[in-house]
Amino acid sequence: MRSVRIGVDTGGTFTDVVSVNEQTGEITTTKTPSTPANPADGFMEGVRKVLRKAATEGDAGMEAVSAVVHGTTVATNQLLEDRIADLGFVTTEGFEFILEIARQSVPDGYGNSYFWVKPPRIVPVHRIRTVGGRLDHTGAEVRPFDEAQAVAAARWFRERGITAIGVCLLHSYANPGHELRMREVLEREHPDAVVSISSDVLREYREYERSVTTLVDAAVKPTMRRYIANLAERLEEAGGSGMPFSVMKSNGGVLSAAEVVHQPITTVLSGPAAGALGAALIAATAGHPSAITLDGGGTSTDVAVVVDGEPSLTTEGSIGRYPCKIPMIDIVTVGAGGGSVAWISPEGTLKVGPRSAGADPGPLCYGRGGTEVTVTDAHVFLGRVPPHLLGGEIPLDADAARQGVEALAGKVGLTPERTAAGILEISAFNQSNAIRQITVKRGLDVRDFPMVAFGGSGPLLVCRLIDILGLPSVIVPPDPGNVSAFGLLTVDVKNDYVRTFVTRDLSLPDAAEIFRDLEGQAAEALDREGFAADRHVYARSADLRYYGQAYEVRVPAPAGPLDEAWRAEVLDRFHEAHQKLYGYGYRDDPRHGVEWVNLRVSGIGPITRPAIGRRPYGTVPPEPEPATARQVFYDEWGPAPIHRRTALAAGTVIAGPAVIEEYGSTLPVHPGFTAVVDAFGNLEVRRDGANPTQ
């Protein structure tokens, strides 16, 4: 009987895997090195490894697996590394320079404007074709679609071997007719082409963002199709024929692999989104409905904020230099992971990241040919992590880390201890700046939020972050390196649909018709995913702004019939949200009208989430004897007790200086800090004398 669900999150350094037995509730976790050359190899090894660990290998094997959910970085890495090739663009005649014009946006403010040159466009102008025909902003046809120009454009791409094509025609958010005809021409004249049209990808106004979002979708579609097809084939060969296989999306939902290949742009923040959701569930279970989440990996750190159990969403995100105006969990990423490289600037100052040694060759201590000191090497040199990873599966070369730190110390004129501690301090400040972006810049007080730290390197700097940011506490969940993979098993199926409808006097019948259309599209998708009609959930929302503003605020909209009470409720939510975000609102000022911009529907197919039970570890007393001790440098070298996390029961108190080790991560407890095990097995870290969070 198929009863095991598996979540696989592929990171830059490790592939994290979690399985849950739906009959017994037993959760099994493991990790395996990622395989950047072919991520499918690490994926399959992780699946086999977790099945062996869960004792379902052998006669059961893959036959016991009821579903696999995957968080992938394939699309993200392609964009971050600018691996965009053979991409073409079709747009309306006269608009061929829309990508060159872009937006008036200068990084780091106008002080650098004299020295900033716009980066190359995602599609150079010589690979852009235009087609005649024009719609107005209501979708009415002004000039008919020029079939002859469309045929000529398709043949031009075919003759040059350009096989990934994005189509964005003017005002197609209001009427997709011309784009649909362009796709028909491309399918007929250039059948080898992979095509994305903007009315499918993002049916929302703002031509530049819609164009780039569509082109990003087209750019990653061939790679994602090959990758997903390869995974599906290998799962089937391993005995998973007919088994549901889903992929995590950036919006906090999942979608079947068969469907997600048609909208690959929705996977660009796949892994980090799963981590934020998993951490949100862990924090809420422990009594913290609002929290900051920090996912520390080998290459980067991803931070998000959860308010009342829900991670914040945005449609103003970007991946690298490409704006992607799709709904995604609001995540800030900084190049501050375990593999972040320490280097010396031309001015002679010590810097850390954003460049990373990655998984191959990795830090010096990996012994795989790495030549530069990383954050992990600094931790190893200072004794804050053991000389091995994954419970001894991967030995580390502490001597290589020491030699590297000593050589770097000689260049900067510091002692090796101060150099290593400085590397960690810089990394902690890099992480704290990312946390301030997601809180202070959003009008939130960071001191009001406990933080959930997870990922392989997430717990390593939490004591410094408590002091730097004034955090009330930090929660380190059990198996922190696998929280993102666990999050994959907590996620509903979810698709988002949007329609631009700009008006200051909302016609309720017209709005009701748009919602019916969007909910109909959502219903069709949920039907394809195998959800019965009585399990469909539709979440409405609307984007509004004060008349004259350039950007909108999204607020949830009630279900049910659209009447004046419905309109009043949405407007009230908008005024309240605007006040909270920006510190002012015009609720009672009739001079400032409200403009409706977009209507949205999310179609949700709910799943049964794994329960997080109370998980006391062992039966040892609250003050257990440490497993061992070693020399650790905090403010100075000294012996520190080393505790095994699996030996800590609920109520256990560990006072710093100490180190708490487990299979996939390590928590250094600095002097002046205390870690307490709660009833769910979480470690809650505080500075001594801090009041417990309520």
Query: Over the stretch 510-527, which tens digit does the pLDDT of each residue have?
Result: 999 999 999 999 999 999
What are the residues whose beta carbons fall under 8 Å from the beta carbon of 24, sequence distance 6 or more?
Answer: none
Tokens for 500? 């631009």
pLDDT classification of 120: cutoffs 50, 70, 90: confident
Contact 192, 163 (CB under 8 A): yes
DSSP letter assigned to residue 137: T
Give the helix ranges, DSSP H, for 358-457: 375-381, 398-412, 416-438
State the pLDDT at residue 691: 63
Q: How far apart are CA 197 and CA 164, in angstroms?
A: 11
Residues 265, 9, 431: CA angle, nearest 5 degrees: 85
For the residues 341-354, what does the mean pLDDT come to? 90
Q: Are strands 254-256 and 245-248 parallel, antiparallel or unpaired?
A: antiparallel
Q: Which residue has the tokens 């491309």?
A: 186
Listed range (55-69, 165-179, 353-367, 668-682) with the worst mean pLDDT: 55-69
Bridge-partner residues for 319, per DSSP? 322
Contact 224, 74 (CB under 8 A): yes
Residue type, 220: V
Burial class (CB in 10 A: 0-12, 13-18, 19+), 649: middle
Contact 275, 488 (CB under 8 A): no
For the residues 311-332, what does the mean pLDDT come to? 85
State the pLDDT at residue 116: 64
Rounded to 10°, the helix 462-469/416-438 angle is 60
Q: How far apart are CA 278 and CA 612, in angstroms?
A: 11
CATH topology of domain 271-491: Nucleotidyltransferase; domain 5 (3.30.420)
State the pLDDT at residue 693: 46
CA-based torsion, 399, 403, 404, 408: positive or negative: positive
For the chain, what percent of residues have pLDDT higher than 70?
A: 94
Q: How far apart are CA 184 and CA 492, in angstroms?
A: 34
CATH label, 4-78+225-267, candidates 3.40.50.1220, 2.50.20.10, 3.30.420.40, 3.30.465.10: 3.30.420.40
Contact 642, 628 (CB under 8 A): yes
Tokens for 646? 């699996």
pLDDT at 6 over 50: yes
Tokens for 614? 């109370």
The more confidently predicted of residues 310 and 689 is: 310
H or E segment and range at residue 341: strand 340-344
The more confidently predicted of residues 96 and 271 is: 96
Closest CA to 278 of 467, 488, 106, 436: 488
3-state secondary structure of 454: strand
3-state secondary structure of 126: helix
Mean pLDDT, the chain, integer: 89
For the residues 395-414, what does the mean pLDDT come to? 94
Q: How far apart are CA 487 and CA 485, in angstroms?
A: 5
Domain boundaries, the chain: 4-78+225-267, 83-221, 271-491, 493-605, 628-687
Tokens for 454? 């997870």
Listed range (313-317, 419-423, 674-678) with the worst mean pLDDT: 313-317
pLDDT at 271 over 50: yes
State the pLDDT at residue 82: 75
pLDDT at 187 over 80: yes
Contact 306, 283 (CB under 8 A): yes
pLDDT at 57 over 50: no
Strands, DSSP E only, in 194-300?
A: 194-197, 245-248, 254-256, 291-296
DSSP letter assigned to residue 61: G
CATH topology of domain 493-605: Dna Ligase; domain 1 (3.30.1490)
Tokens for 199? 């009315």
Same CATH fold assignment for domains 4-78+225-267 and 271-491: yes
pLDDT at 486 over 80: yes
Q: Does domain 83-221 have CATH number 3.40.1360?
A: yes
Whole-prediction pTM value? 0.84
Q: How far apart are CA 248 and CA 51, in angstroms?
A: 21
> Tens digit of pLDDT for each residue in 553-610?
999 999 999 999 999 999 999 999 999 888 899 998 888 999 999 999 999 999 877 7
What are the residues whose beta carbons fall under 8 Å from the beta carbon of 352, sequence distance 6 or more?
Answer: 336, 340, 341, 342, 343, 375, 423, 426, 427, 430
Q: Which segment, 83-97, 329-343, 457-471, 582-596, is predicted with the most confidence on average?
A: 457-471
pLDDT at 270 over 80: yes
